[in-house]
Amino acid sequence: MIRPSSLPALKQCPRFESGEAQSFTTEGTKRHEALASVFADESNVITALWADQLDDESIDGIMWAFDYIKLNAPMRDYELHIERQMEITDNETFEAVMRGTLDYQCGNHLFDIKWRRRDYVPQMAAYALMMIQETGWNIVHVHILFMESKYAQKLALTEAECWKIINEAKHKAEDPNAEPTPCDYCGWCKHTLTCDALNERVTAINEGREDWQLEQYHASAITEPEELAKAIPLAKAVKTWADAVDHFAKKFMMNGGQIPGYEVKSKQGNRQIVDLNAAFSRSGLDQDRFMQCCSVVFSKLVDEHKTIHSVSKTVATKELERMLGDAVQRGKNSYQITKTKH
């Protein structure tokens, strides 16, 4: 059974299959739960629990979405349903052919929360059809709320329009001869490491470099040490090229250039406390609570200790570790591949 959330990806690549949840999926779940908590809280503010887990940009986007739904949902006449599970049934067999969870539904208005702007119309068509089948509405008003840009995409969908949009994506996925197509959803797909369409792009980049030629390019199947030794510099070259394209494309658009289908957006930096003493005196918190909100950069303590006591960085580090004891803890190790020295 195809999930509504897979329809936008299937529209672009008929061979798409959802893979394991990524970090951005986790962040999206946090934003959804945080917005739901705002509606549940009588004070209509984001709770301290979520404020500690989300950055300022996410919080701003959540509160914008909250205000938008409060303004546009017909809550005087209908109940606002949050995370409502519904399904599409076949008109002839009356069996469920698709199930999904609507973010916010009020009367014939559907509000779906997203972060970054992409084409989510097929997914919304599935949700709108669920509402039409259950309630008999002639039209469902869809509001796709993109929290990053604070932009609302509005649609008015009929039953016929919903079926047309859904079937377009479904028919592509059901075509046994359909070829995979690199698209915006590759990062979500479980075939990322074995996709022929993506591997063809890598082979195009390494053309002319005999020292990068591999027996095959499915990343998960490169297990021989000699092959991995050739794959690593190729991977770094691909990443370097991709980062360079991103850098110069941003520079081009920030200088007034236009690239069809793309735009550049500025992202607000996180709020920072620049005067701890002033912040403490004005915060209204006692010392213990305020200290729990603070963090200290150990390397900066080392620099200060080194300067004050005129010792080397190594000595300053060891002395601070001895002085601070269990007040200092190491985070988890990170790993990177580097070339060995001969």
Write the secondary structure of 267-328 as one string of H (helix), E (strand) and C (coil).
Answer: CCCCCCCCCHHHHHHHHCCCHHHHHHCCCCCHHHHHHHHHHHHCCCHHHHHHHHHHHHHHHC
Q: Which amino acid, residue 127? A: Y
Burial class (CB in 10 A: 0-12, 13-18, 19+), 275: exposed
Whether residue 50 contacts residue 33, with contact meaning beta carbons closer than 8 Å, is answered with yes
Q: How far apart are CA 165 and CA 126, in angstroms?
A: 8
**pLDDT confidence of residue 23:** 46
**pLDDT confidence of residue 21:** 45
**pLDDT confidence of residue 332:** 76
On the CB side of 216, CA atoms within 13 Å amount to 11
Ranges under pLDDT 50 in the chain: 21-23
Domain ranges of the chain: 4-174, 193-254, 276-327
Assign residue 160 a region (left: φ > 0; alpha: ψ between -120 and 50; beta: otherwise): alpha
CA distance readout (Å), 45 to 53, 146, 149, 268, 333: 15, 20, 20, 21, 37
**pLDDT confidence of residue 202:** 64
